[in-house]
Structure 1
Amino acid sequence: MITERSQAGHTVQRIRLGKPSPSAEFRALRGLANSVTAPSAGP
């Protein structure tokens, strides 16, 4: 859970630092949804 949360935060930070691309935002949202969908499941 901590790793997934950290990953999500890192993704958001990367988007904020980089250009606000719709693809990057969609990817981050998808990653967050994936974490919520399977918090117990790992990569």
Structure 2
Amino acid sequence: MLDAQTRERLGRHLKALYEPVLDETLDPRLAELLRQLESDKRERGGS
């Protein structure tokens, strides 16, 4: 079990690692695929 201070430090470190990835522009083909998957999910009644 991690204490609160360790969890916070770990969270900041992970955020710093992933922020550059999340800031990258999404490839249009991947964006279209994600839109299609969401559309299919809604049509099936999923959430």
* Shared fold, TM over 0.5: no
Q: TM-score range by the shorter chain?
A: 0.3 to 0.5
* Structure-2-length-normalised TM-score: 0.41
Query: Larger RCO: Structure 1 or Structure 2 (Cα < 8 Å, ≥ 6 residues apart)?
Result: 1
Greater C-alpha Rg? 2
* Structure-1-length-normalised TM-score: 0.45
